[in-house]
Amino acid sequence: MSPGVHGLPPVIVMAGLVAFGVAVGVWVMRVVAREGGQERGGEALSSEEMFRAVLEGSAAAVFIIDQGHIRYANEAASALTGAPAVDLVGRAFLDRFHPDSHEIVRHRVLKPPSPAVAGLRYEARLAGADDRWVELTGRTLDLSGQAASLVTAFDVTERRRAEEAMRESERRMRDILETVQLVAVLLDREGVITYCNPFFLELVGYEEEDVIGREWFAAFVPEEDRESGRTTLRDRMQLGAVAAHEETAIVTRHGDRRVVAWSNTVLRDWTGEISGTASIGADVTDRRRAEEQLQHDAFHDALTGLPNRALFIDRLQAALARLQGAMARGHHKGMFAVVFLDVDRFKLVNDSLGHSVGDRLLVELSSALKTAVRPGDTVARLGGDEFTILLEDMEQREEATAVAERIQAVLREPLTLAGHEVFATVSMGIALSAPSYRRAEDLLRDADTAMYHAKALGKSRHQVFDSSMHARASKLLQLEHDLRRAIDRKEFRVHYQPIVRVEDRRIAGFEALVRWHHPERGLVAPSEFIHLAEETGLVVPLGRAVLEEACRQATQWHQSSGDDLTVSVNLSVKQFGQPDLVEQVDAALRQSGLPSRLLKLEVTESMVMENTDGAIALLRRLKALGVHIAIDDFGTGYSSLSYLLRLPADTLKIDRSFVSGSGDAGRNVTIVRAVVGLASSLGLDVVAEGVETEEQLALLVDFSCPLAQGFLFSPAVDSEAAAQLVAGRAAMGRSLP
Ligand code: C2E
Ligand code: MG
Ligand code: MG
């Protein structure tokens, strides 16, 4: 290195080289040498000119500061400070800066505290009102033994503004996020949590320090979603786009799962690089649960939790579609069946034990039904006491009847309901799938029709639908129509069945039993139409007509024979609910002139149980007229004996199922004996119904049962035949000795 050319110690040369690279550094040494008065007149160095050009063309502002004053400034420096280079030279360097930055310029840039930190960058504000900032780097120069500084400066005003704007928007965002009732989470590119708001902390149950810095997926995402979550984030970071809205599950500190609906955006730093994601979310767990609940409720029965009619029809329709698809492909697969099930005498349970026990029965029954079917089958509650079962993937038709038998078997065990043991029996109709069915409703209708047949055949059984049942179903409609017409046309007649004293077989009275003289079908028994009349309300005018006719008839017997022959009239549930029943009875007595003690009204326990207090009051009012009350079909309801005995009744009529029924004979005999004994000790009359044989009568004689009624003596006969029986006064059922 030639001192003639450079004239500066090598250390300064080195400093310059480090600061600007070789070219600039070499030129600086030349300048300083010239200023230092060591000019070698007229000798122009081409390299020096080149370095000058480089320095002057540099985008960086360069200053040389000597004793706090500017010794040199390049063009970029004058552009930066807004003053021509000539004006700058000799000025105090600090004056170029805002007073706020003097400290840093003086003690960091111009005089680095230690050689180790020399060359660090500092930001300083320029003088002037326009808030312009530079980034400065200062290095020490030795100018002929004098310490000087070489300072480079870049204008960073724009960058700072951009950063400040970023910071500002971030601040604003945080302000919002700290206060809203929404969770907010910022993740970096790797999914590490860089920020979360207090609401998020509240939701997950952690402190901020437990959350910041943790990987989102490991910390809050359910295990099964973690890997896919990470992959998605990676992909999104690469694409620079996120799903604007998504719903994900998170797990809280206590292990609760919450569903959060997120709005996501990509975060970028000031250079536009993707730095992570920002997500704002609402905890929608409760809303989702409520929606799920609503959805569930719309398709399930509230009491039993079983699928409801809508869901059942849906599944049935799907099964039908599968069957049709299989048939179209030539397969014989997908056979299924619909079982329609109705609880026998459910109304009686409801009426005698109360609705809550009735509800319990339905719940118990629904679990019993589920045990009788395979897991894939659908047990649904259609409403009331009606259930349906869809049996799918059947191999053969017999499977459906096998399920029905299984159900009957399960129900052979009593259900315990609120301390009561209740035997529930059900009637079932079965419709088997056939390609001819188009609509689910048609299958359901046919299963229903078959169920009605099962009921008609004596309940507690099942019937498989066959097409002849359609005819019988429409017959029922016809019957209702005829029934209405029959009332208009007065086609009903009252027949009378004698009630006989057991000791001498003489007639004590008659029970009035209605008959329908159908123009085509002849005499129709009440079992075929009473329930329909009850359902349609036609039983009210019908019952009233029977009452009036029976009173009229009994008055005739009384007058002709001079005997106190009673007449018993059955009341229906609907009649019993008539507010003017007492007036009706009173009017019938007055019109006919029948002494009230000769009229007996028969009520069943279920009628009384429906509204016990009201019923007892009503019975008392009837008794006040002087008429007698009989409890009909005694023993067939669910009421407790002690309870029934509190009713204001005069007579118990032991149901014929105990007298001539097909049940356990020994048990029945015991029941009859017990009821007779109990009734007589309470001063009640007893009528044994359905006496058909001498053996049965002999037992009644043994038990001292006072009254009996049955085919052994006479069936119900028309009024003329009854009048003859009265006139003959013969002992009934056998000729007098
Ligand atoms: P209920 O009041 O228990 O009448 C007794 C029924 O048993 C009558 O049937 C009678 O014919 C029948 N019966 C009598 N003795 C024997 C016997 O030894 N063996 C058998 N197997 N049966 C016997 P019916 O006349 O068919 O009446 C059936 C039910 O219809 C009656 O049962 C009653 O609940 C109802 N009913 C009849 N007439 C009327 C009425 O005018 N109004 C109302 N509301 N219901 C009526
Ligand atoms: Mg009766
Ligand atoms: Mg009866």
Clarify whether residues 144 and 238 are in a common domain: no
The residue to mutate among 513, 527, 693, having the most atoms of ligand 1 within 8 angstroms of its beta carbon, is 513
Q: Decide whether any atom of ligand 1 lies within 6 Å of the 498 Cβ.
A: no
| More confident call, 628 vs 418 | 628
Highest mean pLDDT among 44-58, 533-547, 633-647 belongs to: 533-547
Clarify whether residues 212 and 326 are in a common domain: no
Asked if the model's pLDDT at residue 23 lies above 60, the reply is no
Clarify whether residues 203 and 125 are in a common domain: no
- In 3D space, the residue among 507, 493, 378, 523 whose CA is nearest the CA of residue 444 turns out to be 378
DSSP 96: G
Atom of ligand 1 nearest to the CA of 709: 15
- In 3D space, the residue among 189, 266, 242, 185 whose CA is nearest the CA of residue 219 turns out to be 185
Measured from the alpha carbon of residue 633, the closest ligand is 3
For residue 735, is it within any domain? Answer: no
Amino acid 610: pLDDT:
66
Give the range among 192-201, 270-279, 457-466, 715-724 with minimum mean pLDDT: 457-466
Smallest CA separation from ligand 1 atom 46, residue: 570
Asked if the model's pLDDT at residue 639 lies above 60, the reply is yes
- Distance from the alpha carbon of residue 484 to the mean position of ligand 3, in angstroms: 25
- Extract the tokens encoding 638: 């669910």
- Distance from the alpha carbon of residue 513 to the mean position of ligand 1, in angstroms: 6
Count of structural domains within the chain: 4
CATH for 572: 3.20.20.450
- Extract the tokens encoding 312: 């059942």
Smallest CA separation from ligand 1 atom 21, residue: 690
Query: Residue for token digits 């026990």?
Result: 357
The answer to whether 340 and 429 have CB atoms below 8 angstroms apart is yes
Clarify whether residues 456 and 549 are in a common domain: no
Query: Residue for token digits 């008539």?
Result: 578
Q: Decide whether any atom of ligand 1 lies within 6 Å of the 635 Cβ.
A: no
Query: What are the φ/ψ torsions at residue 425 (nearest 5 degrees)?
Result: -115, 155
Those residues whose beta carbon sits under 5 angstroms from the ion ligand 2 are: 570, 602, 632
Asked if the model's pLDDT at residue 521 lies above 70, the reply is yes
For residue 473, is it within any domain? Answer: no
Clarify whether residues 429 and 319 are in a common domain: yes
For residue 296, is it within any domain? Answer: no
- In 3D space, the residue among 123, 183, 182 whose CA is nearest the CA of residue 156 turns out to be 123
- Distance from the alpha carbon of residue 567 to the mean position of ligand 2, in angstroms: 11
The answer to whether 248 and 262 have CB atoms below 8 angstroms apart is yes
For residue 472, is it within any domain? Answer: no
The dihedral region occupied by 419, where left means phi > 0, alpha psi between -120 and 50, and beta the remainder, is left
Over residues 463-489, the mean pLDDT reads 78
The answer to whether 349 and 638 have CB atoms below 8 angstroms apart is yes
- In 3D space, the residue among 444, 440, 441, 418 whose CA is nearest the CA of residue 429 turns out to be 444
The answer to whether 581 and 614 have CB atoms below 8 angstroms apart is no
For residue 351, is it within any domain? Answer: yes
Alpha-helix residue ranges (DSSP H) falling in 513-640: 530-536, 539-561, 573-576, 581-592, 605-610, 612-624
Clarify whether residues 423 and 506 are in a common domain: no
For residue 167, is it within any domain? Answer: no
What does the pLDDT look like over 676-709, one tens digit per residue?
Answer: 998 888 889 999 999 999 999 999 999 999 999 9
- Distance from the alpha carbon of residue 621 to the mean position of ligand 1, in angstroms: 26
- Extract the tokens encoding 542: 């019908």
The confidence band for 45, taking pLDDT boundaries of 50, 70 and 90, is low
- Extract the tokens encoding 15: 């400093």
CATH for 77: 3.30.450.20
Measured from the alpha carbon of residue 660, the closest ligand is 1
For residue 624, is it within any domain? Answer: yes
Amino acid 129: pLDDT:
86
Amino acid 142: pLDDT:
79
Asked if the model's pLDDT at residue 27 lies above 50, the reply is no
Atom of ligand 1 nearest to the CA of 633: 3
- Distance from the alpha carbon of residue 82 to the mean position of ligand 2, in angstroms: 121
How far is residue 568's CA from residue 546's CA, in Å, rounded to a whole number?
A: 11
Amino acid identity at 730? A
Clarify whether residues 328 and 433 are in a common domain: yes
Sequence-ordered strand ranges (E) for 46-120: 61-66, 69-73
For residue 174, is it within any domain? Answer: no
Query: Residue for token digits 């059955």?
Result: 570
- Extract the tokens encoding 385: 């006491």
Amino acid 431: pLDDT:
96
Amino acid identity at 525? A
Measured from the alpha carbon of residue 654, the closest ligand is 3
What's the whole-model pTM score?
A: 0.48
Clarify whether residues 108 and 198 are in a common domain: no
Clarify whether residues 398 and 316 are in a common domain: yes
- In 3D space, the residue among 393, 391, 383, 421 whose CA is nearest the CA of residue 407 turns out to be 391
Clarify whether residues 654 and 678 are in a common domain: yes
Give the range among 30-44, 434-448, 530-544 with minimum mean pLDDT: 30-44
Q: Decide whether any atom of ligand 1 lies within 6 Å of the 655 Cβ.
A: no
Amino acid 31: pLDDT:
46
Clarify whether residues 356 and 272 are in a common domain: no
First to last CA, the chain: 167
The residue to mutate among 527, 542, 570, having the most atoms of ligand 1 within 8 angstroms of its beta carbon, is 570
Task: Single out the residue in 433, 466, 499 at which a domain terminates.
Answer: 466
Query: What are the φ/ψ torsions at residue 77 (nearest 5 degrees)?
Result: -65, -40
Give the range among 24-33, 189-198, 393-402, 443-452 with minimum mean pLDDT: 24-33
Task: Single out the residue in 466, 497, 512 at which a domain terminates.
Answer: 466
How far is residue 128's CA from residue 100's CA, in Å, rounded to a whole number?
A: 12
Question: What's the whole-number average pLDDT of the chain?
Answer: 85
Please give the residue range of the domain that contains residue 257. 180-289
Give the range among 66-70, 567-571, 644-648 with minimum mean pLDDT: 644-648
Measured from the alpha carbon of residue 690, the closest ligand is 1
The confidence band for 488, taking pLDDT boundaries of 50, 70 and 90, is confident
**Between β-strands 628-634 and 651-654, what pairing exists: parallel, antiparallel or unpaired?**
parallel
Q: Decide whether any atom of ligand 1 lies within 6 Å of the 572 Cβ.
A: yes
Amino acid 474: pLDDT:
67
What does the pLDDT look like over 140-168, one tens digit per residue?
Answer: 877 777 888 889 999 999 988 988 888 88
Clarify whether residues 552 and 589 are in a common domain: yes
How many CA atoms lie less than 13 Å away from 245 in the CB half-sphere? 2
Task: Single out the residue in 432, 466, 500 at which a domain terminates.
Answer: 466
